[in-house]
C-alpha cells in the first residue's frame, strides 16, 4: 500500500506539474489581434469628403457611430428634407457604368399603374424598348401591359419585390390593346435574359412636314458623352443629328425629355450649344456655386460655363426663336439645366407635366486609397444658375401646356398621333389634329427609371471647374 501510494503521489505531482507548465505556456502566448471594423475606415472617408464638398455644409448633421453600415452613416449626415438627391452606392464602378448607360438589363422600361380601384392588381405599361437589347428581339412593344413576372400577378403588395426579379433571367406575361375591337388580347409569355447593355441616349430623330411647317423631333433619354472610357460617341452622334436637321431646313424643334432624368453637364452644354441662337464661346450657358469652403479657392469662386461654338448650331432658323420641350414629372437635373440655360436666349415652351425641380449638381467620389472600399458616393456639391443668375425652380418648371402621358394609351414614339408630340404639332400649326382618343384616369405608382442611378442626377466635373 505504501509503495502504491508513493507511485500515486509521484504521478499526481507529474500531472500537476504538467498542467501548471501548460498554464504558464498559455500565459506567454501572444494575444489574438482583433481585426478593426472595416466600416470605420469607410465612414471616416465619407465624412472627410462630405466636410469638404457638401453644398449644405453648415446644415450637415452629426454622424452616427463610425462602426455603422456606410449607407446609414452617409444618410445620417444629410440635410433632409432639403437635400432630396445625395445618394450612396455599394459599387463605384457599377455606378459609373450606369451613369454612362451601361447596365445589366433586358432592355425595356415601364411605368406601373393600379389596374382598378376595385382590386389591388398592378399593371406595368412598356414605355420604351432599347435598341440591340434582348427585349428588342421579341414582339414586345411600347404600350403593352405586363401583368405577371415569373408567372406571379403584380399587386400593390408585391410589385416592388417583383421588380427586383427582372435583373435576372425571367419571364413576363403581356397583353396588348386592340384598337379595332377595343379589348386587350393576351400575347403570351416572353422569356428574357439580361445582358450588360450600353444604352444609346439618342433614341430617335425625325423630320415632319405638316401644314407647310418643317418640324424636327429629337428623343433624348439621358445625358452622357459616350459609353464610358472617355468616349464622346454620343455627343458626336448628336452633332450629326443636328447637322442633318439644319441641312433639311427645319423651322421648329421639339426635344423630348419626358424620360430624361439627367446626367453629365458636359453633354447638356453640348446639346444647348446646338440649339441656342448663334451662340459663341463668349456666351454663358450656366453658372455654378459651391459651399463656403470650396469657394475660398480662386478657381471655384466664379465658375461660369460658356456655350461651345459649333458649326451644327441651328442659328436663328427656329420660328419665333422658340424651342418646344416635352416633359414629365421625371424630367430632371441636366434636362432642367437645359431649360434654365436656354431661357435667357430664346422662348422655351414646355408641354407635358411639371418637372422634378433639381437645380443642384453632384460629383461621384471613390476611395482611391482603400482598395477594400467599393462604395461610391454622389453628394450634392453645387447649385446651378443661368446667365441671368436665375435658379428658382426647386419645385419644378410648370409646363405651358399641361398633359400627363398617362391620360391616353401609349402610341409609338415618333407617331404624330402620340399625345405629347401631337400637342406640340397642334401648337406649331395652330390646327387641332381632330383625333379622338379615350381618356384614362390612372395614377402613376412607379417606374423602372426611378431606380436608375442617373435619374435626378446632374454630374459636375469639380476638378475642371
> Distance between CA atoms of 107 and 196, rounded to whole angstroms?
10
Query: For residue 113, which phi and psi values (nearest 5 degrees)?
Result: -135, 155
Peptide bond into 105 cis (omega under 30): no
Query: For residue 324, which phi and psi values (nearest 5 degrees)?
Result: -100, 130
Inform me whether the pLDDT recorded for 17 exceeds 80.
Answer: no
Residue 109 sits in the same domain as residue 183: yes
pLDDT of residue 228: 83
Interval 147-176 mean pLDDT: 95
- Smallest CA-to-CA distance from 453 within 6, 97, 29 is with 97
Report the b/e string of 362-400 with b at 16+ CB within 10 A: bbbbbbeeeeebbbbbbbbbbbbbbbeeebebeebbebe
Distance of alpha carbon 163 from the chain centroid: 17
36: which DSSP letter?
A: P
Angle formed by the axes of helices 233-247 and 265-275, nearest 10°: 10
Q: Which residues contact 206 (CB under 8 A, 6 or more apart)?
A: 216, 217, 414
Residue 163 sits in the same domain as residue 256: no
Residue 246 sits in the same domain as residue 150: no
- CA-to-CA dists, residue 3 to 8, 9, 10, angstroms: 9, 10, 11
Give the domain-ending residue among 146, 179, 196.
196
Residue 379 sits in the same domain as residue 413: yes
Q: What average pLDDT does the structure give for the chain?
A: 91
pLDDT category at 11 given cuts 50, 70, 90 is very low
> Distance between CA atoms of 366 and 359, rounded to whole angstroms?
24
pLDDT in tens, 275-297: 999 999 999 999 999 999 999 99
pLDDT of residue 271: 98
Inform me whether the pLDDT recorded for 14 exceeds 70.
Answer: no
Instruction: Report yes or no: 451 and 166 within 8 Å, Cβ to Cβ.
Output: no
| Domain count along the chain | 2
pLDDT category at 32 given cuts 50, 70, 90 is low
Grid look-up 463605384 returns 92
> Distance between CA atoms of 439 and 73, rounded to whole angstroms?
46
Residue 422 falls within a domain, yes or no? yes
Q: Which residues contact 238 (CB under 8 A, 6 or more apart)?
A: 202, 220, 267, 270, 271, 274
Q: Check the CA dihedral 314-319-323-324 and report its sign.
A: negative
Ranges of beta strands (E only) in 353-390 are 360-362, 365-366, 376-378, 380-385
pLDDT in tens, 325-337: 999 999 999 999 9
Inform me whether the pLDDT recorded for 359 exceeds 50.
Answer: yes
- CA-to-CA dists, residue 330 to 207, 236, 258, 282, angstroms: 25, 26, 7, 32
Summary count for the chain: helices (H), strands (E): 10, 24
* CATH number reported for the structural domain that contains residue 172 in this entry: 2.30.42.10
Residue 14 falls within a domain, yes or no? no
Residue 318 falls within a domain, yes or no? yes
Share above pLDDT 90 across residues of the chain, in percent, rounded to a whole number? 84
Residue 337 sits in the same domain as residue 386: yes
81 conformational bin, left if phi > 0, alpha if psi -120 to 50, beta if neither: alpha
Residue 405 sits in the same domain as residue 305: yes
Residue 176 sits in the same domain as residue 208: no
Q: Check the CA dihedral 219-225-226-227 and report its sign.
A: negative
Residue 47 falls within a domain, yes or no? no
94 SS3 class:
helix
pLDDT of residue 30: 64
Residue 415 belongs to domain spanning: 199-464
Higher pLDDT: 453 or 20? It is 453
Instruction: Report yes or no: 357 and 425 within 8 Å, Cβ to Cβ.
Output: no
pLDDT category at 67 given cuts 50, 70, 90 is very high
Residue 160 sits in the same domain as residue 240: no
pLDDT category at 435 given cuts 50, 70, 90 is confident
Q: Per mean pLDDT, which range of 301-310, 381-390, 453-462 is the poorest?
A: 453-462
* CATH number reported for the structural domain that contains residue 282 in this entry: 3.90.226.10
> Distance between CA atoms of 243 and 236, rounded to whole angstroms?
11
pLDDT of residue 144: 98
Amino acid at each position: 500500500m505504501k509503495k502504491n501510494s508513493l507511485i500515486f503521489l509521484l504521478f499526481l505531482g507529474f500531472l500537476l506539474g504538467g498542467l501548471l507548465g501548460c498554464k504558464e505556456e498559455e500565459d506567454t502566448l501572444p494575444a489574438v489581434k482583433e481585426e478593426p471594423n472595416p466600416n470605420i475606415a469607410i465612414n471616416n472617408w465619407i465624412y472627410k469628403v462630405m466636410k469638404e464638398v457638401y453644398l449644405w455644409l453648415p446644415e450637415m448633421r452629426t454622424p452616427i457611430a463610425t462602426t455603422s453600415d456606410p449607407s446609414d452613416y452617409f444618410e445620417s449626415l444629410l440635410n433632409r428634407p432639403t437635400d432630396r438627391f445625395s445618394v450612396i452606392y455599394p459599387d463605384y464602378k457599377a455606378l459609373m457604368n450606369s451613369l454612362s448607360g451601361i447596365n445589366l438589363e433586358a432592355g425595356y422600361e415601364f411605368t406601373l399603374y393600379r389596374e382598378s380601384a376595385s382590386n389591388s392588381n398592378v399593371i406595368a405599361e412598356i414605355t420604351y424598348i432599347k435598341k440591340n437589347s434582348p427585349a428588342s428581339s421579341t414582339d414586345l412593344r411600347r404600350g403593352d401591359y405586363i401583368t405577371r413576372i415569373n408567372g406571379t400577378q403584380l399587386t400593390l403588395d408585391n410589385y416592388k419585390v417583383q421588380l427586383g426579379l427582372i435583373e435576372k433571367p425571367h419571364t413576363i406575361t403581356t397583353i396588348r390593346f386592340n384598337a379595332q375591337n377595343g379589348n386587350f388580347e393576351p400575347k403570351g409569355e416572353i422569356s428574357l435574359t439580361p445582358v450588360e447593355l450600353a444604352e444609346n441616349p439618342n433614341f430617335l430623330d425625325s423630320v415632319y412636314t405638316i401644314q407647310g411647317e418643317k418640324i424636327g423631333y429629337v428623343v433624348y433619354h439621358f445625358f452622357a458623352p459616350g459609353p464610358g472610357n472617355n468616349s464622346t460617341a454620343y455627343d458626336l452622334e448628336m452633332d450629326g443629328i443636328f447637322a442633318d436637321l439644319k441641312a433639311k431646313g427645319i423651322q421648329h424643334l421639339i426635344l423630348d425629355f419626358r424620360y430624361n432624368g439627367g446626367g453629365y453637364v458636359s453633354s447638356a452644354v453640348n446639346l444647348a450649344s446646338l440649339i441656342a441662337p448663334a451662340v459663341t464661346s463668349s456666351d454663358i450657358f450656366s453658372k455654378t456655386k459651391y459651399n463656403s469652403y470650396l469657394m475660398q479657392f480662386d478657381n471655384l469662386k466664379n465658375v461660369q460655363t460658356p456655350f461651345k461654338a459649333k458649326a451644327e448650331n441651328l442659328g436663328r432658323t427656329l420660328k419665333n426663336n422658340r424651342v418646344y420641350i416635352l416633359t414629365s414629372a421625371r424630367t430632371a437635373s441636366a434636362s432642367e439645366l437645359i431649360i434654365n440655360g436656354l431661357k435667357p436666349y430664346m422662348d422655351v415652351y414646355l408641354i407635358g407635366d411639371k418637372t422634378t425641380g433639381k437645380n443642384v449638381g453632384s460629383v461621384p467620389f471613390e476611395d482611391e486609397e482603400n482598395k477594400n472600399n467599393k462604395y461610391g458616393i454622389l453628394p450634392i456639391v453645387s447649385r446651378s444658375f443661368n446667365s441671368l443668375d436665375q435658379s428658382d425652380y426647386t419645385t419644378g418648371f410648370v409646363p405651358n401646356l399641361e398633359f400627363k402621358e398617362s391620360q391616353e394609351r401609349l402610341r409609338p414614339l415618333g407617331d404624330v398621333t402620340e399625345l405629347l408630340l401631337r400637342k406640340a404639332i397642334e401648337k406649331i400649326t395652330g390646327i387641332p389634329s381632330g383625333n379622338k382618343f379615350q381618356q384614362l384616369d390612372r395614377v402613376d405608382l412607379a417606374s423602372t427609371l426611378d431606380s436608375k442611378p442617373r435619374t435626378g442626377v446632374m454630374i459636375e466635373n469639380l476638378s475642371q471647374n
